C-alpha cells in the first residue's frame, strides 16, 4: 500500500490507549546532599571552586565539568545576586491560562559562576530590569526540607 493511498474506512485503523508507568525517585547526589543540607540547616548557599579553571559551581558539584578534577573546596556564596534573564509565564503546564502570571528568572548569586533558575516575587513584570539586584527569600527554617523550594522566590533588593 503506497503512502499516498488513503484509508477510506476510518474503522480500519484505531488508536490503542495506554500509559508508560514512569515514577522516579531521585537522590540529590553527593554534591546535592551537601548543598541542600546546608541550605536547609543554615539558610546559606554554597558552591565548589575549581582552582584550575577558576569556576565556582552553584549548587556545588563534586567535579569540574571542564577539566574533570575532583572538587572538594566548598565556599559560601551570597544570598544576593544579579538577574541575568527572566520571562513571564501566562500559560500553565497544561497549556491553559494561569490566574496569576508567574515570573521566572536566571539569577547569578554573588560569587557564583553559574546561574540558578527560580521564581521572582514581590515585583511586577514592568519593573524588571536586566542586571537588577535580587535577593533570596527563604522559607522559615522549620519549613525547609532540603529542596530547591526552600527558596520561596527572589525579590528585588
Partner 1 sequence: MGRRVAIVGAGMTKFVRRAQETGKELAFYAAREALNYCGMKLGQIDGVVLGSAPDTFDGVHMKGEYLSDGAGAWGKPYMRCYVGGGTGVFSVIHGWYHIASGAFNTCLVICEEKMSSFQPHPQAAFLTIFDHTTERPLKPNLLWIFALEMNRYMSTYGLRKEDIALVAVKNKNNALDHPAAQIAAPVKLEDILNSEVLAWPVQRLDVSPVSDGAVALVLAEESIARRVTDKPVWIEGVGWALDTAYWTNRDLCYPRYVEEAARMAYRMAGITDPRHQIHVAEPYDPFDYKELHHMEGLMLCGRGEAPQLTVDGVTRRDGELPVCPSGGLLGVGNPIAAAGLMKVAELFYQLRGEAGKRQIARKAKRGVAQAWGDLMQVGTVVVVGI
Partner 2 sequence: MKQKKETMPVLPGTGLKDEDFKKGRVLTTSWNADARYAWDAGVAIGRYLAGLKQGKILGVGCNKCGRVMVPPRIFCEWCFRNIDEWVELKDTGRVNTFSLCYVTWDVKRIKEPQIPAVIEVDGASPGMGIMHLLGEVDPKKVQVGMRVKAVWKPANEREGAITDIKYFKPI
Q: Supply the minimum distance, in Å, between the C-beta of residue 22 and partner 2.
A: 4
Residue 25 burial (C-beta neighbours within 10 Å; 0-12, 13-18, 19+): exposed
Site string for partner 2, 7-26 (x = CB under 8 A): x---xxxxxxxxxxxxxxxx
Task: Decide if 67 contacts 50 (C-beta within 8 A).
Answer: yes
For residues 6 and 14, which CB has a smaller minimum distance to partner 1 in the complex?
14
State whether the Cα torsion 35-155-114-49 is positive or negative: negative
Spell out, one character per residue from 49 to 68, where the chain touches partner 1: x when CB under 8 A holds, - when not: ------------xxx-xxxx
Tell me which residue has cell 563534586: 62
Binding flag, residue 4, partner 1 (CB under 8 A): no
Instruction: Please state, in angstroms and rounded to a whole number, the distance separating the CA atoms of residues 35 and 60.
Output: 6
Q: How far is the CB of 130 from partner 2 (least distance, A)?
A: 30
Residues that bind partner 2 (CB under 8 A): 1, 7, 11-28, 30, 32-33, 36-37, 145-147
Amino acid at each position: 500500500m503506497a503512502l499516498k493511498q488513503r484509508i477510506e474506512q476510518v474503522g480500519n485503523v484505531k488508536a490503542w490507549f495506554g500509559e508508560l508507568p514512569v515514577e522516579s525517585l531521585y537522590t540529590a547526589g553527593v554534591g546535592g546532599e551537601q548543598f541542600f543540607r546546608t541550605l536547609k540547616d543554615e539558610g546559606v548557599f554554597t558552591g565548589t571552586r575549581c582552582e584550575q579553571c577558576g569556576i565556582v559551581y552553584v549548587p556545588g558539584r563534586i567535579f569540574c565539568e571542564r577539566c574533570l578534577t575532583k572538587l572538594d573546596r566548598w565556599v559560601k556564596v551570597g544570598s544576593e545576586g544579579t538577574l541575568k534573564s527572566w520571562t513571564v509565564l501566562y500559560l500553565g503546564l497544561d497549556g491553559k491560562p494561569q490566574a496569576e502570571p508567574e515570573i521566572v528568572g536566571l539569577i547569578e548569586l554573588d560569587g557564583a559562576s553559574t546561574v540558578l533558575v527560580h521564581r521572582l516575587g514581590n515585583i511586577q513584570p514592568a519593573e524588571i530590569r536586566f542586571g537588577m539586584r535580587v535577593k533570596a527569600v527563604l522559607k522559615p527554617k522549620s519549613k525547609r526540607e532540603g529542596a530547591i523550594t526552600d527558596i520561596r522566590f527572589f525579590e528585588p533588593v
